[in-house]
């Protein structure tokens, strides 16, 4: 959703509040595309100190589905956004989510989501992950594969050892 901040600047030293809806359906970034499964309306507060100067506060809660780092099970991850920005709409240099006096709410939220993107996603603390041999989800049970990976040098020694035995 886009909202015009001109209204917020109508009166000097005034506080302006607005609720905006978030259109964002997925977060598409270098790591992949992650569906937005729930989102709260975006609360926007703007304090107009003087001509063109706005102190913008934006808050929202977005629930994004991100696969577990180990087993790839989708995990609902809540990302809280509580951002504060100083804008000077009289200047030519503006953030990407500002065009003239229009604020691209989705653009700003997208930007904030990236800043608050979780560094690590686990379906549970002790997630066992996937078997590197057969790909089975080890949380569902043991697949029976021999996952004892030998160091190549160790494997060579083992070969010699096996040769002596036979
Ligand atoms: Zn997992
Ligand atoms: Zn396996």
Whole-number Å distance, alpha carbon 138 to ligand 2 midpoint, is 8
Ligand at minimal distance from the CA of 132 is 2
Shared domain for 85 and 109, answered yes or no, is yes
C-alpha to C-alpha distance for 4 and 101, rounded to whole angstroms: 6
pLDDT at 90: 84
Q: Tens digits of per-residue pLDDT, 84-117? A: 999 998 888 899 999 999 999 999 999 999 999 9
Whole-number Å distance, alpha carbon 149 to ligand 2 midpoint, is 13
Q: HSE on the CB side for 138, CA within 13 Å?
A: 16
Domain count, the chain: 2
Which residue range(s) make up the domain with 42?
2-127
In contact, 64 and 38? CB cutoff 8 Å: no
Shared domain for 13 and 29, answered yes or no, is yes
How do the pLDDT tens digits run along the chain, 166 residues long?
A: 999 998 888 878 888 999 999 999 999 998 899 999 999 999 999 999 888 889 999 999 999 999 999 999 999 999 999 999 999 988 888 999 999 999 999 999 999 999 999 999 999 999 999 998 999 999 999 999 988 765 666 656 666 666 666 5
Whole-number Å distance, alpha carbon 88 to ligand 1 midpoint, is 45
Shared domain for 153 and 112, answered yes or no, is no
Average pLDDT, the chain: 89
Shared domain for 90 and 26, answered yes or no, is yes
Whole-number Å distance, alpha carbon 139 to ligand 1 midpoint, is 8
Shared domain for 152 and 166, answered yes or no, is yes
pLDDT at 91: 87
Ligand at minimal distance from the CA of 70 is 1
């Amino acid at each position: 959703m886009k909202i015009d901040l001109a209204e917020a600047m109508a009166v000097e030293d005034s506080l302006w509040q607005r609720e905006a809806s978030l259109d964002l359906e997925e977060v598409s970034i270098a790591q992949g595309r992650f569906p937005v499964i729930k989102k709260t309306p975006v609360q926007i507060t703007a304090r107009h100190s003087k001509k063109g100067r706005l102190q913008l506060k934006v808050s929202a809660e977005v629930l994004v589905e991100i696969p577990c780092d180990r087993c790839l099970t989708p995990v609902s991850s809540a990302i809280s956004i509580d951002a504060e920005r100083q804008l000077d709409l009289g200047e030519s240099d503006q953030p990407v989510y500002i065009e003239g006096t229009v604020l691209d709410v989705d653009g700003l939220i997208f930007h904030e989501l990236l800043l608050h993107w979780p560094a690590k996603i686990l379906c549970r603390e002790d997630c066992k992950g996937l078997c590197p041999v057969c790909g089975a989800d080890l949380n569902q049970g043991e697949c029976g594969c021999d996952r004892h990976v030998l160091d190549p040098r160790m494997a060579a020694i083992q070969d010699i050892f096996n040769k002596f035995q036979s």
